[in-house]
Amino acid sequence: MRWKLFRRRLSISAPRVAIRSHMPWPLRWVVLALAFGFSASLALWAFEFGKEIAGLERTSKEEVAQLRSELETLRSERERAQSIANTADSLLKTERVTQDRLSQQLRQSEAEILALKADLGFFERLLPTAGDGLAVRALQAEPIQPGQLRYQLLVMQSGRSPAEFKGRYEFQLAGTLDGKPWIFTPQPSQRALALKQYARVEGMLEHPDTAVVKSVQVRVLDGSGGVRASQTVKL
């Protein structure tokens, strides 16, 4: 305690001093007025800038809305045009299929007409003839491809109650081969034939590919090998 009193006596005590800057009040009013004016100018500028931004945004929204409307219109027109194109393509395909089907039917009908004409000409020879006996009433031959002929043969017996015929028939081809006269008997050389009133047979004849066939002859043979009927057709 004494020590503390002694220290107080030795130490120099001085009052605390605060240093403050002194500004006249008119100058303070000027500074405040300048600050307020600057703040007001800044607020006004911010307000005008905001108005410009708001107007620009509003204009941009209107333009975007208009562009979207035009896009929707173009899209609708494109879809309508695509629909028309699809319909036209479908109609064209249907018409093409119909034309193809009609063309196929026409070709089939023409083939049937030709076949009927051939059959008609063939069966016209079925009409009875005067006299009795065995006869070759029709012979048709046509080339199919090199080395092949297709034939149709009609053999008839005249009379009211003819006896059954059993025999054979054979073909002989004539023409040229390598520029020289040529005669050929296709294989098999003889084919079985049996009929009472008539018989219609057909088949294929094979010959060398390079041969030019000019005529086809058929001969009908009885059981003893005698020729009972024959006919020749030129190609």
Q: Dump strand ranges (E) for the chain.
A: 133-145, 148-158, 165-177, 180-184, 191-195, 198-206, 211-221, 227-234
Q: What is the CATH number of domain 131-234?
A: 2.60.40.10
- Comparing 80 with 13, which gets the higher pLDDT? 80
11-21 pLDDT, tens digit each: 544 455 444 55
Q: What is the mean pLDDT of residues 75-91?
A: 82
Q: Which of 145, 123, 117, 149 is nearest to 218 (CA)?
A: 149
Give the pLDDT confidence score for residue 142 in this predicted structure. Answer: 92
180-225 pLDDT, tens digit each: 999 999 988 889 999 888 889 999 999 999 999 999 999 999 888 8
pTM: 0.46
* Residue ranges per structural domain of the chain: 33-127, 131-234
